[in-house]
Each structure stands twice: as structure tokens, then as C-alpha cells.
Amino acid sequence: MNKYKLIALVAVIALLGAGCKWFAPAEDSNARNAFRGLDPLAAAEKIQFLPGDSFDVTQRMYGFEALVPGFLKDDTGVRKVTVTRFAPMNGANLEWETTLEVETDASKQEREAYAKALDELSEDAPIPVRPSMSYETRAASGTLEFINIKNSHSALFPAYWQEGKQNAIEEFSAMWLSDDAFQELSRTGKTSLSFNVFHESSAKAIHGVNELQDAFDALKNESQVAVREDRKDIDLVEMIDDSFEYDIMVDGKTVTVEAMKARNWFGEIIILKNRQNPMILELNINPLAAGVNEAIGEKVGSLQDLFGYKVTNFTLKTY
């Protein structure tokens, strides 16, 4: 081998060895590189959705449609949500899946029979023993289409997502502020957003679940008092903090974004400060009325378990 070939060989070895970083993949995370050096507002504005992107929603319970009883005793669960359509400031479609524990049909029937027996109980009759609940584990999934993120002022939070195909009928914003609501809140510090706490499926779903029934009834009564006697607009959302740092997870990495915090009579929401994607990252039920706490005490926590949620991780294809 002549000296020129030897020099060339050494150079190749150097490139493939000590110089191999030229060909190495990005540092351990596309997300880490994409968000490195960005201030929180720029990071927030970088959170965009394309079809196939996903995020996790952490909930204590998975909502109504007879799922509630099974989650009174469970640890926090996660629902995987995939974006199938996202038109900024216009509309969106989602699909979701999870594994959950639900009450068995036999257990539901026993509970209904017990409730009926109590209603028909004579004054001198002994009170029957409350049946224990039994559960089964199964997979669940659904879709939510025609979400209105253009001008809706009515949310359809994850607690109300149903199995199978569900249509937001271009009326509900799901878990976003609509562009109309986002701009109004940003400009004036106020907007209107119905949490739909008294959605038509609520009362039916919690019937017979005492841990929730008392809390729900007290909340409903106090909200009626607030409207009737205190003349409050219980859907009026007012800004608490128009700019604060909030940590989210993107592809398993912590990213600090800018967020806004606002509340109405029912509780607080944390919103990603991004006009094109003003996602409600967190919902915490904490009624303003002191009467709710006086009436049900610690059972206020049941309302948070039922309605509250937090977005815990984003998986994005493009940054």
C-alpha cells in the first residue's frame, strides 16, 4: 500500500471513528433539540398539531355512560388521544382509546334494586345491606368529530366523551378555547365558557353513587342560588394570570411553555398561550360558592375526580 492510500485509509477511519458525530442521530430527542433555547412563549407557539399527533389525558375517572362507579376506587388513568384533523382557529377531530375498569352489569342491577328497595321502604322496616360493587376490565375507544374551535363558547371536556362515534355538532370546543373566546379573554380579560357540568348525561350516570350524588346535588343547588339570588353569570371566565410558565411533556421531555390561568364559578382552567392551538391543558373543579363546601365537605374532591383532567404528554411528528 503506498503512502497516499494509507493516508486516505487513516482519514476514513478518523471520520468513522473519532469523527463519527457527523453521522450520529440528533442528541437523544428531536423535541429537546427543537425546543432548546426557546423562551416559554415561543415554545408554546411551537406546539402545533398534524394528523397522527397525540397527547395523553390523565383523569381520575373516565366520565359518564355508566363508567363513573368503576373509577371511584382506581388510581389515576390515562386516555391516549390522537388528532385526526386539526384546522387552527376552525375545527378538529379526535380519536381516543384506553383500558378501564367498569362496574359489571350484575353489580349495576343489584345497585338499582337496592335503590328501589330504599325508595319503597316502610318506616319500621330494617334498612337492607348495601350491595358491594364488582368490576371488570375492558378496552374502550371512541371518536369525537366536528369540534368547533372557531367561535364556540361551550366545552365538551373528556368527562363527556362517549364510546363509539360522537359528534360535537360544531357546537362544542371540546378541550380548547375557540378563537373567538381566546381573543376575547386575551383582549379584555373576560369571556364566556360553559363547562357543561350539568350535561344531560350527568344525573343519570351518577344515580345511586352516593359519593357523587350528594356532591353533584349540592353543586347544582348552589349554582342555582348563584344565578337566582346573587345574579352571577356562572359561565363568565375571568383571567387570573395572563402569562406564567408551565411545564408540559413533549416526547417524554419537559418543555416550559407560556400559559394563561382563568376561572369561572365552577373552577379553573390552564390554557396554552397559542392562538392557533389554545388547548385547555388542565381543568380543576373548585366552586366559588362556600355553600358547596359546607354542604358536602371533602366530597368536593369527587367533583374534581369526575370532571378534572390534565394533559400529560404530547407526541408530535413535526416541530
Measured at the CA of 32, the angle between CA 54 and CA 59, to 5 degrees, comes to 35
Handedness of CA 3, 5, 10, 11 (dihedral sign): positive
The predicted pLDDT at position 139 comes to 83
The predicted pLDDT at position 212 comes to 73
Amino acid of residue 172: F
Condensed to tens digits (0 to 9), the pLDDT of residues 146-171 reads: 999 999 999 999 888 888 999 999 99
| 110-124, 203-217, 223-237, 305-319: range with lowest mean pLDDT | 203-217
* The three three-digit cell numbers of residue 166, written as one number: 360522537
Give the confidence band of 119 by pLDDT, cuts at 50, 70, 90.
confident
- What is the value of pTM for the model shown? 0.79
C-alpha 241, offset from chain centre: 20
| 94-98, 101-105, 249-253, 263-267: range with lowest mean pLDDT | 101-105
Q: 130: closest CA among 147, 146, 112?
A: 112
* Separation of alpha carbons 185 and 35, rounded Å: 27
Condensed to tens digits (0 to 9), the pLDDT of residues 304-318 reads: 877 889 998 999 987
Q: Enumerate the domain spans of the chain.
A: 40-120+129-315
Q: 288: closest CA among 241, 226, 228, 240?
A: 226
The predicted pLDDT at position 68 comes to 45
Amino acid of residue 41: L
* Separation of alpha carbons 119 and 5, rounded Å: 97
